[in-house]
Structure formats: C-alpha cells, structure tokens
Homo-oligomer: A and B are copies of this chain.
Amino acid sequence: MAQATDLPRNESGISTTLGVLKQQFGDRFHAGQAMREQHGHTTTWITNQPPDAVVFPTSTREVSDIVKVCATHQVPVIPFGTGTSLEGHVNAPAGGISIDLTQMNKILAVNAEDLDCVVQPGVTRQDLNTHLRDQGLFFPIDPGANASLGGMAATRASGTNAVRYGTMKDNVLSLEVVMADGRIIRTAQRAKKTSAGYDLTRLLIGSEGTLGLITEITLKLQGIPEAISAARMSFPSIDAACQAVMTTIQYGIPVARIELMDELNVKAANAYAKLNLPETPLLLLEFHGSESGVVEQAETFGAIAEEVGGTDFATTTSTEERNKLWQARHDLYWATLQLRPGAKGISTDVCVPISRLAEAVTGAQKKAEELDLLAPVVGHVGDGNFHSLVLIDIEDADEVARAETFVAWLADEAIRMEGTCTGEHGIGQGKMPYLVKELGAATEYMAAIKDALDPLNILNPGKIFSR
C-alpha cells in the first residue's frame, strides 16, 4: 500500500476544536474510530489517514461556523462527499475535521425553463437524475460512481458522457463557497454566460477542497434526448478500435459516449455481468438526438468502424438492453478485480491528444507486459482518456514496486505526448509528483493562489501541493 506522508499536527488546536464542535454539533459530531476511518477512506491504494472527527452540517451557515472555528485554531478541514475519489483526496495527513456534506442533500430549485438547477453539495448525481426525470431533464456528467455533486465539482469530474457534454467545468454556472476565513461567496450569477471578472467558478472546480468548501451548485441541465440508442462493435486489435475512435471524433459525430474495453475487460464483463460479448477489444457507444439523428450517427460510425476491421456491430434502442450494457461498463472496476481475486486495483488516468490514442494505449499494454503486470485498459477514448487498472498483490513488494514503475512511466509517457497524468481523477495525494513534471513553474502560481486564499493552509492540506 502506498504510504501517504503525515504532516505536522497542531495538537492543541485540534483538541480545542474538537471540544468546541462537539458541544456545538452534539450527535452530528463523531470521533469514533470507525467513522473516522471511513472518512479517510477512498477507493484507492493510498493508506488511510483518518481525520480527528467528522461533523455533519445541514446548512451553509453551519459549514461557515465550522470553518471559522477551525480557522481560529488553525486546524485542517477536509470536505467529504461520498468518498469515491481515487487519489486520497479525503485523507487527513495533518489530522483535522472532516466535514461530511451528505446531510446537505436538498435540490433547492429546478429552473426547467432555464435548463438549470440549484443543489446542495450532498445531492448525488443519481438522486438528481431521478428527481429530474419527470420534467424531461437530465444532468449528463457520469463518473461511474454515484458521487455527490459537490465532490464532482471539487474534483472536476467527468466520465463517460464527457465526450459530448464536457466535464464539470462545462456544466456548472455558479457556486456558493465557504472560503478559508468562513465567509460565504457566490462565484457568479445564474446567467448562461458572463464576463464579470475572474472565473472563480472554474478556479474552484477541480481545486479539491483546497481553496474553499462548495456549499451550493448551480448546474446546467440537458433535455432528455428524443431518442437514445446504444451500440457496440468488436475489433481485431486495440489499434483498430482506437483508429475507429479517432476517425469518429475527427468526423465530428456527436457521440454521447464512446468507451473502449480491451480483451481482458470484455472477459471480466462477460463473467461478472453474464454477457456474451466477443472476447476481443470492444467499443461501446451511445447516441443522443432525434429518431433519425441517432440512426444517422450509428450508421456513420458503423461505416467508419468497418473500414478498420470492426465486426459484430449491434445497435439497440431498447432501454433495458442499453441499461444492461452500461451497467456492465459501470461495474467494470469490480468486474475487473475478479480477474485476479484478492488483488488490489491501482487506477491510472492519463489523457492524451486523440491522435496519440492508439500509440498510448498499445504502449501501456506493452509496458505492463514487460513489467509482468496484469493491467486491463478501459477508457473514455473519445476524449483520449483511458485507465490501465493495475491488479496487484499488495503484499508482494516486488510487484508493488513494478506497479509504481508502471504508474510513473505512464504519467511520463502521457506528458511526453502533450497529454496529462490525470484526465479526471485529480491530483490529491497520489499524483503530486506528476503535477510538477507536467506543468512546471505553473504550479508555483497555483501555490501562490492557494497561499493567498488560504493563508493558514487549513483547507484540505497536503493535497495537490506539498503544503
């Protein structure tokens, strides 16, 4: 297991803060071991660093109160949504208070006419979409996990639909934020566009709780398309599948989803979800549009893919069949772990310019083989983003070392290709060394912003930067 570094603890400040918050929050204050460990946990291989206590506020005012107490005593605050992040974002390397936002789960407004809504940060994407369905609306960003919308904003989440609908940065109109001094700000109005000053909305999105705590989110919504169809196609090689993806994107086909599964992943999905997919590289697609539009999109894709050797093209407009396919895709993390029972999965998350996709994916496969690692590939390939999930025996030091070599090599390789070490998982603790490699001096100005907005370094310290 990757050892996260502990940071110096402000013991007296923490002790005082625990007393104050316990009195203030009563049974919404928890300092029990299990609760604390749960809040240091993420779906990750990074060691758990539990906070000293967990508090469950129910309002922005209460979040502000907690931050003010913590600011007074210089104690870290770590926002917590559903704990589904992958890079140790909710760990507490210097201790402190985890602010669990799950009780702030109200949908405050749905402005159907404006195609937007206002939610508290604890609302999950599935809850929101269930709420919206009757109004013919949906929120498109889907990172797989049923994450909280606050967490998704804080980590600039994206996922399968991003190829069509963008990432969280493209789907948030405005944020309400509690800043490091406890003051509450709104980053923008509800208008669809603005040029009013610095884009604090985008600065906060992806800041991983290090610049402020998101307490309200105004989200753009989409109308549920008149027609949705799903498709799948098998390919003789990863390279052929990637060629089909590249041409599809270059043609401007507005695919809503285009996901790659390599042979190992297809096998895992067949076993886990009782499917019968041909066990070769597979593309899984979704098309949104009018009845005729989705047919046209699917036909154009089919023609492109056949050119590069694609076979077994199947499309469906059945909601049930479509959901079954996508459920298999969503469960892939768990399915893949079954390829090697007992193994731990280390997720990687590189994203490269689409022209480098085939080279990057086949390179990753080759490198994993060289290092004798099992690392199936799945990817949001329309964006050039893919995950090699390295399956390792965490007790085998040599294997862990080889996995670390692979992760570092892959980040370097993506950077060399003008890509990023992290398309959607963020930096957290896990990717800190690669951020500097990737962006060099730019990270110093990021750190200057951090110092300006959080001079006491109480907001999720030890993430993104070595602070």
Contacts and interface: CB of A to CB of B under 8 A. Distances in A.
A179 interface: yes
A147 B352 CA distance: 30
Contacts of A424: 193, 195
B353 A191 contact: yes
A50 interface: no
Interface in A264-278: none
Contact of A292 (B195, B211, B250, B292): B292
Given A188-B420, A189-B438, A206 B195 contact: yes
A360 to B, nearest CB: 10
Nearest to A198: B446
Among A169, A349, A431, the one with the most B-chain Cβ atoms within 10 Å of its Cβ is: A169
Contact of A449 (B162, B198, B246, B251): B198
Interface string A221-239: 0110100000000000000
Contacts of A435: 196-197
Interface string A171-214: 00000000100011111111111111111101101110001000
B427 A196 contact: yes
A442 B185 contact: yes
Nearest to A455: B448
A451 interface: yes
A189 B183 CA distance: 34
Contact of A186 (B169, B179, B439): B439
A371 interface: no
A351 B418 contact: no
Interface in A239-253: 246, 249-252
A426 interface: yes
Given A442-B200, A443-B197, A464-B197, A191 B111 contact: no
Contacts of A292: 292, 296
A343 interface: no
A138 B385 CA distance: 24
Interface stretch (A13-21, A112-120, A397-405): A112-120
A141 to B, nearest CB: 12
A438 B196 contact: yes
A160 interface: no
Contact of A422 (B169, B194, B354): B194
Contacts of A451: 452
A365 interface: no
Contact of A191 (B115, B296, B384): B384
Given A189-B418, A445-B179, A156 B353 contact: no
Contacts of A199: 156, 169, 199, 202-203, 205-206
Interface in A407-423: 414-415, 418-423
A422 B464 CA distance: 33
B191 A352 contact: yes
A384 B446 CA distance: 33
A158 interface: yes
A186 B445 contact: no
A196 B421 contact: yes
Among A157, A205, A206, A383, the one with the most B-chain Cβ atoms within 10 Å of its Cβ is: A206
A355 interface: yes
Contacts of A446: 197-198, 200
A316 interface: no
14 contacts: A115-B249, A158-B195, A166-B170, A194-B351, A195-B426, A196-B427, A196-B439, A197-B427, A197-B442, A200-B442, A203-B449, A223-B250, A223-B252, A449-B449
Given A116-B353, A203-B449, 15 more contacts: A113-B355, A114-B353, A115-B250, A157-B195, A186-B440, A188-B439, A189-B415, A192-B383, A192-B384, A195-B206, A195-B422, A198-B211, A202-B202, A449-B452, A449-B453
Q: Which 7 A-B pairs have the closest CB atoms?
A: A202-B202, A452-B452, A113-B355, A223-B252, A190-B418, A185-B442, A191-B351
